[in-house]
Amino acid sequence: MVSFDEERRLATSLARTGAEIARGFQRGGARILRLRNKPLGGGPVTAADETVDAHIVGALREAFPDDPIVAEESWEETPWQRGGRCWFVDPIDGTREFARGTPGWTVQLGLCIDGAPVLGVVAEPAHGRLSWASLQGAGTPSQRWVGETETLAGPVPLHVVARPWDEIQIIGGKVAPFSRQREIHKALGISRDRIRSVGSVGVRMASVARGQSDCYVQAPGKTKMWDTAPPLALVLAAGGRVSDLRGDPLDFSAPPVTHPGGVVACAAEHHEPILERLATLAESWLGPRTA
């Protein structure tokens, strides 16, 4: 049986130590954090992002020297192998929330093989929990996902929910006026009182994997592979579905690192109804599907 136990033990350990490093920077205040914006609209970054990135990437390189690593704060614009193993690391997902001292941030890392996730770890330090999922076995039907959320009160199973459509809860980021996200909510018929906003993609997808939210839908834009690869494993282990807005699986096999078709993560029962309601938007944003 194929097992990723060694990778999981290291990944969960690195997520925990990375979280401790990050919280140490938080306690040091603004002077230590050194919050600033990256060039060319790359978003905010702090000294904590860079230090945690170096800690995780260094340990992965020592343990798995042949594995490519695509990490937010240290990845250079060079392609990785289309086949085989590749790690994705987001040292702090939700940097704005982290810098403000609010809970919506994570430390996360995941492993993909041939462009598909096989392991994901998402630590939510402000909530005292860490979620992990890994694939075991090889081929079908022996291949299966295992995983859970570890909390101070004990383990919590990963399990998506599918509430009736008129009760569906959606989670996403801050919604600006006239944004594509507003168009998505309108197409889905989701009222404002059933929408929750949080900064980190990892928090959003982990919320779906634990059944706290029904779905996460992101328009095509700036969502990166290091945002999605780790929590995608959680949603799959919970029995959910993840795709782009056309229904195609997210591909982690090669650059560019931005998902061009957006992201949908939800219970399997809601996947097709969501895609059907978004079909017109998807075609207008992405163009007609080519053969």
What is the C-alpha to C-alpha distance for residues 179 and 166, in angstroms, rounded to an integer? 23
**Lowest model confidence (mean pLDDT) among 60-69, 75-84, 88-97:** 75-84
Residues 64 and 189 in one domain: no
Task: Report, as an integer, the average pLDDT of 2-13.
Answer: 94
Residues 43 and 137 in one domain: yes
Residues 209, 160: contact at Cβ < 8 Å? yes
What is the C-alpha to C-alpha distance for residues 176 and 203, in angstroms, rounded to an integer? 20
Residue 197 domain flag = yes
Task: Pick from 79-83, 138-142, 188-192, 228-232 the range whose average pLDDT is largest.
Answer: 228-232
What is the C-alpha to C-alpha distance for residues 190 and 36, in angstroms, rounded to an integer? 35
Residues 267 and 208 in one domain: yes
Q: What is the mean pLDDT of the chain?
A: 91
Residues 9 and 146 in one domain: yes
Identify the three-state secondary structure at position 28: helix
Q: How many distinct structural domains can be found in the chain?
A: 2
| Measured CA distances, 226 to 143, 169, 252, 258 (Å) | 24, 25, 9, 9
Residue 144 domain flag = yes
Residues 126 and 170 in one domain: no
What is the C-alpha to C-alpha distance for residues 158 and 144, in angstroms, rounded to an integer? 14
Residue 195: domain span:
165-286
Q: What phi, psi does 50 have (nearest 5°)?
A: -70, -40
Residues 146 and 174 in one domain: no
Q: What is the per-residue pLDDT across 62-71, written as a single tens digit (0 to 9) for each? A: 999 999 999 9
Residues 196 and 245 in one domain: yes
With a cut of 90, say whether residue 173 has pLDDT above it: no
Q: pTM score, two decimals?
A: 0.94
Residues 83 and 23 in one domain: yes
What is the C-alpha to C-alpha distance for residues 53 and 93, in angstroms, rounded to an integer? 11
Q: What is the per-residue pLDDT across 137-154, written as a single tens digit (0 to 9) for each? A: 765 555 799 999 999 999
